[in-house]
C-alpha cells in the first residue's frame, strides 16, 4: 500500500472522528500583565464540522490517487 494511501486512510479516520464526536482546540491568551506578574486564560474553541469534512475529502483524494498509482 503506498504511503499516500495510508496517510489518506488516517485522514479519513481522524476527520470522521472529529465530525462524529466533535473536537476542539485550546489556545492560551495573556489577559493581564503587570510588571513581572501575568494572568493568562485558556480558551477552548470548537472545530467546525466543515473542517472535518474537508479532512475526510482530502483523505479520500489521497486514497484514490494512491490506488491509481498502484494500478
Evaluate if residue 69 carries a pLDDT over 80.
Answer: no
* DSSP secondary structure of 16-54: HHHHHH--EEEEEEEEEEETTEEEEEEEEEEPPHHHHHH
pLDDT digits (tens, 9 = 90+) for 47-59: 999 999 999 999 9
Q: Residue 70: what pLDDT? A: 63
The predicted-structure confidence for 20-63, as pLDDT tens digits, reads as follows 998 899 999 999 999 999 999 999 999 999 999 999 999 999 99
Q: What does pTM read for this prediction?
A: 0.71
Amino acid at each position: 500500500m503506498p504511503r499516500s494511501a495510508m496517510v489518506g486512510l488516517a485522514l479519513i479516520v481522524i476527520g470522521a472522528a472529529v465530525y462524529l464526536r466533535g473536537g476542539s482546540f485550546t489556545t492560551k491568551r495573556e489577559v493581564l500583565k503587570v510588571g513581572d506578574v501575568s494572568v493568562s486564560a485558556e480558551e477552548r474553541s470548537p472545530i467546525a464540522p466543515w473542517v472535518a469534512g474537508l479532512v475526510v475529502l482530502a483523505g479520500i483524494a489521497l486514497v484514490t490517487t494512491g490506488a491509481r498509482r498502484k494500478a
